[in-house]
Chain A
Amino acid sequence: MRKKQPTGEQVAPVSGDATGAAAVASTEVLTGPARSLRADAIRRLKKNKLAVAGLVWIIIVILVAITADLWAPYWLGDPVAIDSTTAAERMLLSPSVDHPFGTDKLGRDVASRVVYGARVSLLVGVVAVAIAVAIGLLMGALAAYYGGIWDAIIMRTADVFFAFPYILFAIVLIALLGPGLQNVFIAIGVLGWPSIARVFRSSILSVKENEYVDAARAMGSSTRRILLRHIMPNAVAPIIVYATMSIGGAILTEAALSFLGMGVQPPDPSWGNMLDDARSFMLTAPWLMIYPGIAILTTVLAFVLLGDGLRDALDVKMKE
């Protein structure tokens, strides 16, 4: 509106129209289109190119993992079964049209194994973090809300967890429980909760101090309503961010455990145990190491970038 200076051909508008137009314009400036918190967050997330790239990559990996059964065994070859009749002539082939990522020492297609490895990685990432978040949220909320002795017990327990070297603790746990995917979930979940609990506790504590919590009480809200409606939405954003980034961490931990032979057991593929297999052929057949390595790197990076973007997107007070 402001740019429109009255030129020669534009007759100055009748005053009534002008004020009307100005009112409309100012309404737009003041309020903009009505949008929800979620729409707002999505809009902010879209502006962050790296986060969008991360999200796109994660979606691709998820789609690949879900649909693997439909195409991977036919186009690329079975990821697990070893065809003993042809194994000798197909082993350690370098990347080609038939085997885009090459083949391993037993003649299996690496691309197919990477695709199936994505299932393991995503599953571990999501399930283990879900376990950690579930325990962590509960513990953090208990510690923050009840305080006193509960706070002391829970947070000191968390400190004890922090005092152990993470990967060693995981190895000991799996040694006790026995190797296997299910126990990887448990180990990562159990080891992950203390940091979630810590983040959530401090988040609740800082939110609890806000006057709007008092205002909600003064309004007649019950304790439960205050916790769920007023404290949670304000305290949970750091958890979403932290959990997203943790998925990357969990994928990495699974890879490390599988690499050490404590996670997914051969012949089932996982990015970690593929790296383990590739160790002895690092120089002769580098593709064995490169492709699972790239898969781990890009997927973990994607989760971290997305988490970073979410942190900005979920902050209501973020300046446009």
Chain B
Amino acid sequence: MAPLLEVDDLHMHFFTRDGVVKACDGVSFTLEAGRTLGVVGESGSGKSVTAMTVMRLIPEPPGKVVSGDIRFKGESILSMSEKDQRKLRGNRIAMIFQDPMTSLNPVFRIGQQIAEPLRLHKDMSRTEAWAAAVELLDRVGIPQAEERARNYPHEFSGGMRQRAMIAMALACGPDILIADEPTTALDVTIQAQILELMQEIQQRTESAIIMITHDLGVVADMADHIMVMYAGKAVEYGPADEVFYNPLHPYTWGLLESLPRHDVDDKGALCPIKGQPPSLINLPPGCAFSPRCAYAKPECDKKVPPLVEIDNGHLSACLFAGDIDFICQYENRVKRGEDSGGDV
């Protein structure tokens, strides 16, 4: 049986006045039912564009899928008619947006908005959809759902709005839930609650989740697989534990080192990745990360390193990912950091 979602060598380019922006340049992954894929990378690495392309939310022009395919249960989304795509969106594939403050329509009641996908896809009457919306609100942990459904978005707090957004995405019982930085706009305690809610929902509904974030901490608990993106390309892909404990790309090392960790009692400064992501119009000829990479060698600038399998199911797009000595450099460095930190 075909996997739930297959993204195959997807190239999404934007044709702008300044040149072609290769926002998503050869991304591939598969997603099985009930699994969670974490997509990690800094701003402008193409995470959101990849997700938006799956939803077909990128306006064309300026965007254009240059090559590659997206298949949902074996069927190509890209070659579907607009009408068939609409039947998938919100119904089989739903999306949670980054900013709950702006992603609810201010002129409709919360309940009406949650009822909308039900009315669109499930052919429910107004009253049926309203009842279902109240139930959904209750399920995502909004107290007094009955009354709260009558509120307008501005009467909800940020965390509650994000809960409402989740309720809206869940309304039709989608197979895939795409969450584009669902916690970025929320404060830390609310973040934890929202993540907990999403995990709980996943256990109950068996839906697959694509979790897009720039925060490795967010996907640490949730993701089964992690894809690290840089400059429109996947630079590392593998099982979550593998990526966390045995990262095979210097960019992932950088991300992990720049993260404050409470399990390491190191009072020293965090170690940022120096420099800035490259312009997606003029990518360097070789590895896009090499200008910022502390381990770069002359070979790195010659050709784009392909994403190859290094370990069982663990892929990296670094020329030296398979090189034992190279990996040791990183491990030694981490160890040094931990040693100086004292009791670990």
B-binding residues in A (CB < 8 A): 27, 30-31, 34, 37, 210-212, 214-222, 230, 233-234, 316-317
Contact = CB atoms under 8 A, between A and B. Distances in A.
15 contacts: A30-B147, A31-B147, A210-B102, A211-B99, A212-B105, A214-B103, A215-B95, A215-B97, A215-B165, A217-B55, A218-B97, A220-B117, A220-B120, A221-B116, A317-B154
A86 to B, nearest CB: 61
Nearest to B94: A218
Contacts of A233: 107
If over half of A's interface residues share one DSSP class (helix, strand or loop), that class is named, otherwise mixed; here it is helix
A222 B90 CA distance: 12
B86 A218 contact: no
Interface string B56-73: 010000000000000000
Interface in B189-222: none
Interface in B76-98: 86-91, 94-95, 97-98
Given A27-B147, A219-B120, 5 more contacts: A212-B106, A218-B89, A220-B88, A234-B105, A316-B107
B97 A221 contact: no
Contacts of B90: 218-221
A211 B116 CA distance: 16
Contacts of B27: none
Given A27-B147, A31-B151, A34-B150, A211 B98 contact: yes
Contacts of A215: 95, 97, 103-105, 165, 168
A58 to B, nearest CB: 26
Contacts of B89: 217-220
Given A34-B150, A219-B116, A212 B94 contact: no
B296 to A, nearest CB: 38
Contacts of A27: 144, 147
Contact of A220 (B104, B105, B121, B152): B121
A222 B84 CA distance: 11
Interface residues of B, number: 32
B292 interface: no
A211 B150 contact: no
Given A27-B147, A217-B57, A220-B91, A212 B104 contact: yes
Interface of B: 55, 57, 86-91, 94-95, 97-99, 102-107, 116-117, 120-121, 144, 147-148, 150-152, 154, 165, 168
A234 B57 contact: no
**When A and B form their complex, which 6 residue pairs have the shortest distance between CB atoms, in order from nearest?**
A220-B90, A219-B90, A211-B103, A220-B89, A218-B95, A31-B147
B168 A219 contact: yes
A214 B97 contact: yes
Contacts of A211: 97-99, 102-103
Contacts of A220: 86-91, 117, 120-121
A234 B154 contact: no
Contacts of B152: 37, 316
B208 to A, nearest CB: 16
A211 B180 CA distance: 12
A230 to B, nearest CB: 6
B154 A216 contact: no
A221 B95 CA distance: 13
A217 B103 CA distance: 11
Given A217-B89, A218-B90, A220-B91, A31 B106 contact: no
Contacts of B144: 27, 30-31
A217 B60 CA distance: 14
A274 B102 CA distance: 53
A219 B148 contact: no
B98 A218 contact: no
A222 B104 CA distance: 17
Contacts of B117: 219-220
Contacts of A37: 107, 152
Contacts of B151: 31
Contacts of B55: 217-218
B134 to A, nearest CB: 13
B137 to A, nearest CB: 13
A122 B327 CA distance: 82
A222 B89 CA distance: 11
Nearest to B103: A211
A241 to B, nearest CB: 15
A210 B99 CA distance: 10
B107 A31 contact: no
A102 to B, nearest CB: 51
A174 to B, nearest CB: 40
A295 B308 CA distance: 83
Nearest to B178: A218
A251 B104 CA distance: 40
A221 B117 CA distance: 8
User: Which among A34, A211, A233 has the highest number of chain B CB atoms within 10 Å?
Assistant: A211
B16 to A, nearest CB: 14
A216 B98 CA distance: 14
B89 to A, nearest CB: 4
Contacts of B94: 218-219
